[in-house]
Structure 1
Amino acid sequence: MSERSEPERLAGVVGGWLEESGIDHDGPLTLTRVGVGQSNLTYTVADATGRADRRWVLRRPPLGQLLASAHDVAREARIMTALQDSEVPVPRVFGVRTVDDVPMVLMEFVDGLVLDRREVVDAVPEAIRRAVGLAIARALALVHTVDLEKTGLIDLASHKPYAERQLKRWTTQWQHSKTRESADLETLTARLAAAVPEQRELTLVHGDFHLRNVIVRPEDGSVASVLDWELCTLGDPLADLGTLLAYWPEPGEPGAGLLSFSTLPGFPRRDEMAAAYLDASGRDGSALAFWHALGLWKIAIIAEGVLRRIQDEPRNRAAAYAPTTDQIDSLIAKALRTLR
Structure 2
Amino acid sequence: MNTVPRAGRAGATGSGTAPAAPDLPGLDLTALARHLRQLPDTGAHPAGPLRARLLAGGRSNLTYSVTDDIHRWVLRRPPLGHVLATAHDMSREHRVLTALADSAVPVPRTVTRCDTSDVIGAPFYLMEHVDGIVHRDDDQLAACSRATATKMADALIDALVALHTTDPAAVGLSDFGRPAGYLDRQLRRWRAQLDASCSREIPGFDRLGDRLVATTPPQAPAAIVHGDYRLDNVIIDAHGPARVRAVLDWEMATLGDPLTDLAATIMFWDGVSGLETVITATPGDHPAFPRRARLLDRYATGTGADLGALSWYLAFAHYKLAVICEGIHYRHTRGETVGAGFDRIGGLVPHVVERGHACLED
> Normalized against structure 1, the TM-score is what?
0.90
- Conserved 8 A contact 1:40-1:59: yes
Does the C-alpha gap of structure 1 residues 33 and 320 become closer, same or farther in structure 2, counting only changes over 3 Å? farther
Q: Are residues 1:65 and 2:97 paired?
A: no
> Offset of 1:323 from its aligned partner?
4.3
Greater Cα shift, 166-175 or 183-192? 183-192
Residue number in structure 2 paired with 1:76: 93
Mapping for residues 1-340 of structure 1, pairs under 5 Å:
5-6=23-24, 9-19=27-37, 20-22=39-41, 23=43, 25-35=46-56, 38-49=59-70, 54-97=71-114, 98-100=116-118, 102-221=122-241, 222-249=243-270, 253-255=274-276, 257-262=278-283, 263-314=285-336, 316-319=337-340, 323-340=344-361
Greater Cα shift, 162-171 or 322-331? 322-331
Does the C-alpha gap of structure 1 residues 267 and 37 become closer, same or farther in structure 2, counting only changes over 3 Å? farther
Greater Cα shift, 328-337 or 127-136? 127-136
Residue number in structure 1 paired with 2:8: none
Q: Residues 25-49 of structure 1: CA distance to partner in whole angstroms, max 9, x if unpaired?
A: 4322211001356100000012234
Return 5+ residue gaps in structure 1 as ranges: none
Greater Cα shift, 60-69 or 9-18? 9-18
Does the C-alpha gap of structure 1 residues 323 and 202 become closer, same or farther in structure 2, counting only changes over 3 Å? farther
Over the aligned positions, Cα root-mean-square deviation in angstroms equals 2.2
Hey, what's the Cα distance between the residues in 1 that align with 2:310 and 2:266? 9
Any idea what SS the aligned residue of 1:153 has? coil
- Conserved 8 A contact 2:132-2:238: yes
> Offset of 1:126 from its aligned partner?
4.1
Hey, what's the Cα distance between the residues in 1 that align with 2:345 and 2:165? 36
Q: Residues 231-264 of structure 1: CA distance to partner in whole angstroms, max 9, x if unpaired?
A: 1111111111011111122696325543533112
Q: Residues 305-332 of structure 1: CA distance to partner in whole angstroms, max 9, x if unpaired?
A: 1111222234x23335554333111111
> Offset of 1:277 from its aligned partner?
1.1
Q: Residues 260-281 of structure 1: CA distance to partner in whole angstroms, max 9, x if unpaired?
A: 3311232222222211211211
Does the C-alpha gap of structure 1 residues 253 and 40 become closer, same or farther in structure 2, counting only changes over 3 Å? same
Greater Cα shift, 165-174 or 196-205? 196-205
Does the C-alpha gap of structure 1 residues 250 and 204 become closer, same or farther in structure 2, counting only changes over 3 Å? closer
Any idea what SS the aligned residue of 1:167 has? helix
Between the aligned residues of both structures, percent identity stands at: 36
Hey, what's the Cα distance between the residues in 2 that align with 1:238 and 1:141? 11
Hey, what's the Cα distance between the residues in 1 that align with 2:346 and 2:272? 21
Greater Cα shift, 195-204 or 247-256? 247-256
- Conserved 8 A contact 2:278-2:341: no
> Offset of 1:102 from its aligned partner?
1.3
> Normalized against structure 2, the TM-score is what?
0.85
Q: How many residues end up aligned between the 2 structures?
A: 333
Hey, what's the Cα distance between the residues in 2 that align with 1:257 and 1:129? 21
